[in-house]
Chains A and B, each alone.
Chain A
Amino acid sequence: MSAPTVHDGSTRTVHDESAPMVRAEGVHKRYGKLEVLKGIDLTVRRGSVCCLLGPSGSGKSTFLRCINHLDKVDGGRLTVDGELVGYRQQGGELHELREREVAERRRDIGMVFQRFNLFPHMTALENVMEAPVRVAGTTKAQAREEARHLLERVGLDDRAGHYPAQLSGGQQQRVAIARALAMKPKLMLFDEPTSALDPELVGDVLDVMRQLADEGMTMVVVTHEIGFAREVGDTAVFMDEGVIIETGDPCQVLVEPEQERTRAFLAKVL
């Protein structure tokens, strides 16, 4: 078990360009008796794409959700851009933040879900405008203009007035990406973004993600798309049963893995 290391007051924002965007140190998480994460150590460099792979139940989605505090960490430290997420460190204790403060920190972290989770009572445009207007306090006119621009970027400017139910899965997921981007996040989390899509629609979503990676966005992607991880990923992380089995260059980890467990998994999915 890792007791949080004491950094006397060094958890304040540093914005050091060379500092990692995400740093996990001995992250533990349990649901009742079940230990889902058994000490995760991981750093994600600024501007890099980190792909998390592994069988279902390996804890990769849980880890991703811990990064923006949708799931609470039980032990260890997790920082995004040098700031603890969901906690404040005082000496040797991590104090949980108030909802308001957590919300404040989540603004900088965009998240895309497996089931899209678009707001069904709003049009595509309204979905993208919602957070800038209600959270960031942007004027409606400006938010609308930016939302249109974002929808154009994901190739859906002609679907702005459609409700989610009128869009295909792939279109919904691209709106969801635009919605997350509307808050101008410095980190994007993707939780199996293509797993709920028809095979023919996967490509469009991956194209948008590839484009985003090319623009230098820092991304953590939980995925089963080995091809995407190999092509776009800077790092591939293979997880199983709550621990990281293997980390490294995707071409290495996903082609010539060192660990037997990774090889067995790849043999099954490829």
Chain B
Amino acid sequence: MVELKTPRDTVSPASGHPVEDLVVVPVRNHGRWVAAVAALAALVGLVGSLAKNDNVRWDIVGDYLFADLVFDGLFTTLWLTVTAMILGLALGTLIAVMRLSPSPVLHGLATFFVWIFRGTPLLVQIIFWGYAAALYKYVMIGVPFTDITFFRAETNSLLTPAVAALLALGLNEAAYTSEIVRAGIQSVDQGQTEAAHSLGMRPALTMRRIVLPQAMRVIIPPMGNETINMLKMTALVSVISAHDLMSNIQDVYAQNYQVIPMLVVASLWYLALVTLLSVPQAYLERRYGRGTVHAQHVSPLRRLLGTAARPLRVKNKEAGR
């Protein structure tokens, strides 16, 4: 290496200060400080007024927060969220693959499904499934246009409110999930499929081993959103009294008229569950992020704990340069 030594390397031309003693001063954002103080003051005021507001009746919130009735509802809400998401994801993946199929019939059917279930309000679909008995009194499985039946049952005994809620939420979710999965599959480079085919892998194996695992990276973040949405949308099934958290809360305030405190109880629980749900999402993202440039080798928990300190450290590093 040749070392070039010119006067500029040691002394800055403008002032004659030695270069290594120069200090970098970041821009001072006075406006940002004023805005932060104002926002914090507003927040403290709001929280304070809520805490002191007698109409919230914190004593009632406390009484019901851990009531059996609330736990029963919570259990139904969780159960409904999980099964509806599983149904949505399984059916949605199938619909996505059908929509990408070269067969015009399969493609058409899948498009029709998405059109119907995405095009009508979820609330309407929930009530529809809840009152399906008004449309078909019996559910029968047999050969169409003949008297041969393999299975026959009363609609009302099959479609309990819980089952109706599950069907409504799951089918609606499938319509949205199929679009997410389709986008994920299409985001995978065509060369991946060609490489797999050139190795003698069949289309189904290629989809399972090569395309879907890579599509997952694109699919997981919106699916996390969908899960959180689903958890809250289960509240809608209270219209067919499926005994979820919201149904039970409504039952209580219909009797004691304490609407606001009961809604606070419900909100606290929904908030707690949503917070818990973001943890597995971070782990899944890490699992399917393998091999990407941004793959994090720290666990999401540590990342969560580390975020508070990191931006500061980066800033210091930049300032010190």
Residue numbers of A with Cβ under 8 A of B are 68, 70, 99-100, 103-104, 106-107, 109-111, 113, 115, 117-123, 130-131, 134-136, 163-165, 176, 179-180, 183, 189
Contact = CB atoms under 8 A, between A and B. Distances in A.
B214 A130 contact: no
Q: A interface, by DSSP: helix, strand, loop or mixed? A: mixed
Contacts of A110: 198
A57 to B, nearest CB: 19
B293 to A, nearest CB: 5
B213 interface: yes
B214 A120 contact: yes
A131 to B, nearest CB: 4
8 tightest Cβ-Cβ pairs between the two chains A and B:
A107-B200, A163-B291, A117-B195, A111-B198, A131-B199, A117-B191, A120-B291, A135-B200
B203 A180 contact: no
A163 B290 contact: yes
B303 interface: no
Contact of B200 (A103, A119, A164): A103
Interface in B200-257: 200-203, 205, 209-210, 213-214
Measured as residues with beta carbon below 8 angstroms from the partner, the interface class of chain B is: 20 to 34
A180 B198 contact: yes
A70 B198 CA distance: 8
A70 B194 contact: yes
B204 to A, nearest CB: 9
A213 to B, nearest CB: 20
A104 to B, nearest CB: 7
A135 B201 CA distance: 6
B291 A100 contact: no
A119 B201 contact: no
A111 to B, nearest CB: 4
Nearest to B205: A134
Nearest to A68: B198
B198 A119 contact: no
Nearest to A179: B199
Given A107-B200, A109-B198, A117 B209 contact: no
Contacts of A107: 199-200
B176 interface: no
Contacts of B201: 103, 131, 134-135
Contacts of B199: 106-107, 130-131, 135, 179-180, 183
Contacts of A130: 199, 209
B209 A134 contact: yes
A120 B291 CA distance: 6
A42 B201 CA distance: 28
A70 B197 contact: yes
A119 B191 CA distance: 10
A131 B210 CA distance: 11
A103 B193 CA distance: 12
A131 B200 contact: yes
B149 interface: no
Contact of B291 (A104, A111, A121, A183): A121
A154 to B, nearest CB: 17
B186 interface: no
A106 B291 contact: no
B192 A119 contact: yes
